Amino acid sequence: MKKEARFWKALSDSKIQCSLCSHYCKIDNEKVGICGVRKNENGRLFSLIYGSCSSIAVDPIEKKPLYHFYPGTKALSLGTVGCNFKCKHCQNFGISTAGPDFSYMKEITPEMTVDLARQYSCQGIAYTYNEPTIWHEFNFDSAKLAKKNDLYTTYVTNGYISEEPLLELSSVLDAMNIDVKAFTNDFYKKVCKARLKPVLDTCVLAKELGIHIELTYLVIPSYNDSFGEVEEFCKWVVEKLGKDIPIHFSRFHPNHNLTNVPRTPMETMLKVYEIGKKVGILYCYLGNVPAGDYENTICPKCGNICVERNGFFVKNSGLKGNKCSKCGFSLSLID
């Protein structure tokens, strides 16, 4: 569904500059930006996907992954099409590379997102599956309504949103899982056709704005798995965000245009987990690995298992509110 977009300015000769994300695309008349879903029509910018939903499901919040945010709850999860990144290893390329004419699209309204969340006993809404930033106008309206109806709101994002829309969003957004896809600009340039710095800036600003954040780092053999790079990333998190920000190291499986790269060896996953711990990250997790302690939330003070996870099975019995039930240590967890 077409709707006039926000966050743009007119340039000369019917050109427009979109400022929703850090690409700041300059768009000629009748053309779309990098994301493929924002179009210049006679000197005005339109979102071509307001209310256009490609995917919808009820997911455990752990699937985002958000482990320190209402553990054990369910989120109505939805996404549209397009993306402002071009990741070679995209896990959802079926929708991220699709355009507004995608044949499985269903029109929805912000009211429907709230009604569906209620109908399926969800405690909140997750804007996910493809990059939610590029669906800003719809997500903002939906999230605003969700907050009025006591639902939580979350983004699963690449963190490329620019400052002004993030400021606006922060009034209605509770949590973000931000992908830090590597810790070199070279990776971002070659693999995602983007830049690292805006992503790091988003992490810092989101935290300052009071949004609960967790980070995901997908470990890809020979691309971003050097132990030095992982250590630099963890040190940056401790210094700029704090040691209590959860990091999810996720295991790579060959996908999309990186099918020639093997899946991440378990030894590498264990090593990056150790590096995170050594640097001082209090809550390191491993994703896409066989079940084990690496999914559990362990009290940094006494070692008690506060939240036990097995896949999406969650047991909170080691928690009292957001504190360890054994020693009373206050975990950075919203419950």
Residues that bind ligand SF4 (CB under 6 A): 18, 20-21, 23-25, 33-35, 38, 84, 134
Please, what is the minimum distance in Å from the beta carbon of residue 180 to ligand SF4? 19
Question: Measured from the CB atom, is 43 or 242 closer to ligand SF4?
Answer: 43
Question: Which of 101/267 has CB closer to ligand SF4?
Answer: 101
Task: Kindly give, in sequence order, each residue whose CB lies less than 8 Å from that of residue 88, ignoring residues fewer than 6 positions away.
Answer: 191, 192, 256, 257, 258
110-119 vs 136-148: helix axis angle to the nearest 10? 50
DSSP state of 111: H
- The CB-of-235 to ligand SF4 minimum distance in angstroms stands at 30
Edge-to-edge strand list for the sheet holding 74-79: 55-60, 74-79, 124-127, 152-157, 175-179, 212-219, 247-251, 284-287
Contacts of 112 (CB under 8 A, 6+ apart): none
Q: Which is nearer to ligand SF4, 19 or 332 (CB)?
A: 19
Cis omega (within 30 of 0) on the bond before 254? no
What the block records as the tokens of 73 is 């709850």
* Cβ distance to ligand SF4 smaller for residue 5 or 76: 5
Residue of this chain nearest to ligand SF4 (CB atom): 33
Residue number, 23 or 68, with CB nearest to ligand SF4: 23
Residue placing its CB nearer to ligand SF4 in the complex, 43 or 265: 43
- Report, in Å, the least distance between residue 38 CB and ligand SF4: 4
Is 18 or 307 the residue whose CB approaches ligand SF4 more closely? Answer: 18
**Residues constituting the chain:** 335
Per DSSP, the three-state class of 22 is: coil
Say what angle helices 266-279 and 227-236 make with each other, to 10 degrees. Answer: 40
Least distance in angstroms from the C-beta of 35 to ligand SF4: 3
Residue 212 CB, nearest approach to ligand SF4 (Å): 24
Tally: H helices and E strands in the chain: 8, 21
* Identity of the residue, 134 or 234, whose beta carbon is nearer to ligand SF4 in the bound complex: 134
β 284-287/247-251 pair status: parallel
Contact call for residues 320 and 333 (beta carbons, < 8 A): no
The answer to whether 275 touches 238, Cβ cutoff 8 Å, is no
Question: Whole-number minimum distance, CB 143 to ligand SF4, in Å?
Answer: 18
CB of 39 to ligand SF4, least distance (A): 9
Name the residue type at position 265.
P
Kindly report the backbone phi and psi dihedral angles of residue 134, in degrees, each rounded to the nearest multiple of 5, phi listed first.
-75, -5
**Rounded to the nearest whole angstrom, what is the least distance from the CB of residue 132 to ligand SF4 in the complex?**
11
Which residue lies nearer to ligand SF4 by CB, 24 or 329? 24
In terms of DSSP H, where are the helices of 150-249?
Answer: 163-169, 185-187, 197-208, 227-236
* Token pair recorded at residue 123: 């405690």
Shortest Cβ distance from residue 34 to ligand SF4 (Å)?
A: 4
